[in-house]
Amino acid sequence: MVDVVAAGGVVVLSGAGISTESGIPDYRGESGSLRTHTPMTYGDFVGSESGRQRYWARSHLGWRTIARAAPNDGHRAVAVLQARGFVDGVITQNVDGLHGAAGARNVIELHGNLDRVICLDCRQTTPREHLDRRLREANPVFEGEATRINPDGDVELPDDVVKHFRLVDCTNCTSPLLKPDVVFFGENVPKPRVERCYQQIDEAQAVMVLGSSLTVMSGFRFVRYAAKAGKPVLIINQGHTRGDPYATLRVNLPLGQALTELADALV
């Protein structure tokens, strides 16, 4: 792995596993949230006010935990590898913004970022902190505790807490369809963003997968595409991945440890 990365031109493809050491669980690991949590789907969100109420009540608490999360050794090592010229690009499936917070540049956030809110009618985007302030004002006595945060930014809350949560509308067009600027389950990644990712893979010498099971096609397609082009595929992940048959090299170690050792070896 050191020899491949030392040659440069590496594109990183990261998943939820790289953020677990920052306190954000993954979806499909041994303690993955999908074992007990059903993520909000795009259809449920746009199809009913009760679905949006359920999401925003839970995400109102969950986002605060995501916003407080700090980059870990894995994120920092990726930024170091990029700063030293070994990594050319970063594609992340995560919506937590931790690669950028660690200092990585030109990160393609495949599934968006929880720090932004978009109106599905007028397409205006605003900072999440603005919506957070408005939701606090609309729900001055809202109480709840984020006992378990999920990768999509929401938490588990009882129905009797959710039903009292008040929503707010878009400040530009008064639409009720305010949504975090992230790709929900059942929603497609914007085509221009996908094309940018393929361009990075075309220009890469190798692809390094970090902390992703590659179960969903949105990330797996890039691994399959790189392998078909004859580019080395390096995978560091604890547990089986869908991309294992395409891997040139497979490492089963915690990301913080493995990436720190890799960065140190390349000094």
Measured distance CA(127)–CA(116) in Å, rounded = 5
Nearest Cα to Cα of residue 17 among 200, 218, 233, 253: 253
Residue 203 in marked binding region:
no
In terms of Cβ atoms closer than 10 Å to its own Cβ (0-12, 13-18, 19+), residue 22 is buried
Residue among 113, 111, 134 at smallest CA distance from 125: 113
Distance between CA atoms of residues 90 and 36, nearest Å: 30
Known binding residue 59? Answer is no
Q: Is 250 annotated as a binding residue?
A: no
What are the structure tokens assigned to 52, written together?
């949006």
* 51 annotated ligand-binding residue: no
The reply, when asked if residue 122 is annotated as ligand binding, is: yes
The encoded tokens of residue 160 equal 């009797």
Residue written as token pair 């990029």: 82
Is 166 annotated for ligand binding? no
Q: Is 74 one of the annotated binding-site residues?
A: no
134 is in an annotated binding site: no
Residue 21 vs residues 26, 69, 164, 220: alpha-carbon distances, Å: 10, 10, 34, 23
170 is in an annotated binding site: yes
Is 16 annotated for ligand binding? Answer: yes
d(C-alpha 255, C-alpha 21), whole Å? 8
Output the six-digit token pair for 258.
């493995």
Token pair for 208: 């390094």
Active site (catalytic) residues: 111
Strands 178-182 and 112-119: antiparallel
Is 96 assigned a ligand-binding role in the annotation?
A: yes
**Binding site annotation covers 23?**
yes
Q: Tokens 């929503």 sit at which residue? A: 167
Is 42 marked as a binding-site residue? no
The answer to whether 119 is a known ligand-binding residue is: yes
21 is in an annotated binding site: yes
Separation of alpha carbons 194 and 129, rounded Å: 27
Buried b (16+ CB within 10 A) or exposed e, 131-144: bbebbeeebeeeeb
Residue ranges at the known binding site for Zn(2+):
119, 122, 170, 173
Residue ranges at the known binding site for NAD(+):
15-35, 93-96, 211-213, 237-239, 255
Residue ranges at the known binding site:
15-35, 93-96, 119, 122, 170, 173, 211-213, 237-239, 255
